[in-house]
Structure 1
């Protein structure tokens, strides 16, 4: 698959950022994050109504409310909201979208992202590439800095951009505030070094995809609900699929007991802190507002009950409660989060 960038633009906010909003401090939670970029790609089938100019105009308009994304990260301490803009590329792909969807190749998929090697992102916070396939299908690839946004923040931005693109006067758009540093003030952490993986180091990781149809997920939910009748609420989609994948891993590795001696495995689940803050924060509160629940799963049980993973993960997630968040705000959870 060949992807050729045919235009390069810089999209700036349609209105200048006021001087009093020029600097956005990183919060304590931002300080703890890896200096990495999260990739997102949205695929769309052929649509003759696609308007490239409107997409760029709506991005310029929505950046007025999401102004840090058009700024630059400075010294790992704050974002300079200088309206320097977002890199916006248009690319042509020499195949049909169906070919990529039916036979995904995760090395080739990276070509749909701006700066596939990630080395050129620099101090930027967001970059976008719109890819047009031979069939007129579209893939919008985004790199977003994890330094300032978690996944939910990213979805909030994309959903608002989509609403603005559909209707410039939409009343569904909710502009957020960027004051997370007031809730989680930045801290001096002697000896703590922010990890920033180079492009070469990131190539060590291998990505594989598992596709579960809606019917398959429903069947898994029904199976685990039947085997966990004591749980209320019953297992969710995420819990059911996670338990299934863990059970397959256990079945595949338990036979070789000699190789498993002295080994332990950890299962990690991201937890949204917004509803756990007192008082709860709205989902439109943007920044890094997530932590991780971690458990060392038991090797007991059966594949049918997911080796007890669902119960163990729920117990781990219960520990991330209001008291936990309060300690985090006071800086008392630092070691637990970075160890």
Structure 2
């Protein structure tokens, strides 16, 4: 299996400089010729009889930034001509919002619930004056003038959601070669990455087969407004004990891996369940020996097994756990994975599967996001580190032995 790392130092100028030196690239300008905006509302009004969508406690623990993802399509199949693609996307999006009705609503001023006002979502359309191949030849960052930011809905690259803003936004980008990129940003306060990908799977399937809605029942969303019962057991309860065991020779650290709880919670939930149904498998370390790969893997497996059978996420808020470790002076290392999630074959809107899917950026340092490669035989990992840590990472001989860096 191939592994590719996309290093993203927190010092953005270092990323650009390092990229140009390694590959001899000159700076490109991703010139957006024009951009328009349309508001897409649900095809049918949200029924008044529905109960308010109250955000679960584990969702309230999140800051609520947008999660931005982009899908690139180059060899477009003739099923949908260039002229009608936007209409196909808009019509199917409108019908999808009727199913995912909370996403067309508004976050209340308190941030605790979604109001069903059917305000819809913003759909941007941009004309880009470069070929898709030119853009894909290197991985840009969010704040380069030729970066991913121009391909995303304005203000949605890990930007914090305001109560007056949409919970989701979309941008369709047309490249000069005929290729396109579809960028979608979902507020993290209402759903995790699987929620976003489930939404996109339904939207793509409906766009591909608009007359076969009845066959999409298996892709329909499930809403869980409240999860009853007490807090689940911690997957690693040795945090308190580790605060007396640090000798000072090793800086305390903790590896935190986000786990999809839908198949682990009791009773199990459909994969299309909407919400932030994740928990952290956290492994604190206080000595260098505890960071050995075999030791970490064994503890992570044990932690995930302890999460199985959990009947509630109340009391297991991820941000609370992050704050707890920060107060005890642990260095935090976070990992999120969407491997084995619907990412490529399910994203055919009528013109083939995407040639690439990418998260735009990562929200902090010491953070990694893993995803499958388009071919399915490897893993792409986006890594964010401080500048000096990144230099050491890029020079690691063990990593270089089986992985490649794409900077």
For the pair 1:317 / 2:359, whether they are aligned, the reply is no
Q: Return closer, same or farther for 1:300/1:307 CA change in 2, 3 Å cut-off.
A: farther
1:263 pairs with one of 251, 258, 261: 251
| Structure-2 separation of matches of 1:265 and 1:44 | 40
Q: Return closer, same or farther for 1:261/1:332 CA change in 2, 3 Å cut-off.
A: closer
Q: TM-score when scaled to structure 1? A: 0.70
Q: Output one character per residue of 1:51-102: Cα deviation in whole Å (capped at 9) or x when no partner.
A: 2111110000111000111111002110012111110000011111111211
| Structure-2 separation of matches of 1:332 and 1:67 | 27
SS of equivalent residue, structure 1 residue 106: coil
Task: Specify the alignment match of 1:14 in structure 2.
Answer: 43
CA contact (8 A) 1:268 1:292 kept: yes
Q: Return closer, same or farther for 1:32/1:42 CA change in 2, 3 Å cut-off.
A: same
Q: Return closer, same or farther for 1:263/1:58 CA change in 2, 3 Å cut-off.
A: same
CA contact (8 A) 2:92 2:207 kept: yes
Q: Output one character per residue of 1:216-248: Cα deviation in whole Å (capped at 9) or x when no partner.
A: xxxxxxxxxxxxxxxxxxxxxxxxxxxxxxxxx
CA contact (8 A) 2:38 2:123 kept: yes
Task: Specify the alignment match of 2:140 in structure 1.
Answer: 105
SS of equivalent residue, structure 2 residue 122: strand
TM superposition shift of 1:328: 3.7
Q: Return closer, same or farther for 1:153/1:333 CA change in 2, 3 Å cut-off.
A: closer
TM superposition shift of 1:183: 1.8
For the pair 1:62 / 2:96, whether they are aligned, the reply is yes
| Structure-2 separation of matches of 1:274 and 1:320 | 11
Q: Return closer, same or farther for 1:79/1:99 CA change in 2, 3 Å cut-off.
A: same
Task: Specify the alignment match of 1:224 in structure 2.
Answer: none
Q: Return closer, same or farther for 1:288/1:333 CA change in 2, 3 Å cut-off.
A: closer
Task: Specify the alignment match of 1:276 in structure 2.
Answer: 264
TM superposition shift of 1:181: 2.5
| Structure-2 separation of matches of 1:332 and 1:120 | 23
| Structure-2 separation of matches of 1:140 and 1:42 | 5
For the pair 1:91 / 2:136, whether they are aligned, the reply is no
- Taking the TM superposition and a 5 Å limit, the aligned residue runs for 1:151-230 are 151-168=193-210, 169-170=212-213, 171-173=215-217, 174-178=219-223, 180-184=224-228
Q: TM-score when scaled to structure 2? A: 0.59
| Structure-2 separation of matches of 1:20 and 1:184 | 23
CA contact (8 A) 1:113 1:129 kept: yes
Task: Specify the alignment match of 1:32 in structure 2.
Answer: 61
For the pair 1:43 / 2:30, whether they are aligned, the reply is no
| Structure-2 separation of matches of 1:134 and 1:146 | 33
Task: Specify the alignment match of 1:285 in structure 2.
Answer: 273
CA contact (8 A) 1:299 1:307 kept: no
TM superposition shift of 1:312: 2.5
CA contact (8 A) 2:279 2:313 kept: no
TM superposition shift of 1:310: 2.1
Task: Specify the alignment match of 1:81 in structure 2.
Answer: 116
TM superposition shift of 1:273: 1.3
| Structure-1 separation of matches of 2:295 and 2:307 | 20
Higher strand fraction (1 or 2): 2
TM superposition shift of 1:307: 5.2
2:177 pairs with one of 135, 143, 146: 135
| Structure-1 separation of matches of 2:312 and 2:75 | 50
TM superposition shift of 1:33: 1.4
Q: Return closer, same or farther for 1:321/1:120 CA change in 2, 3 Å cut-off.
A: closer
Task: Specify the alignment match of 1:114 in structure 2.
Answer: 153
Task: Specify the alignment match of 1:227 in structure 2.
Answer: none
TM superposition shift of 1:315: 2.0
Structure 2: tracts of 5 or more residues without a match: 1-29, 232-247, 325-407
CA RMSD, aligned part only? Answer: 2.8
TM superposition shift of 1:7: 1.8
Higher helix fraction (1 or 2): 1
Task: Specify the alignment match of 1:294 in structure 2.
Answer: 282
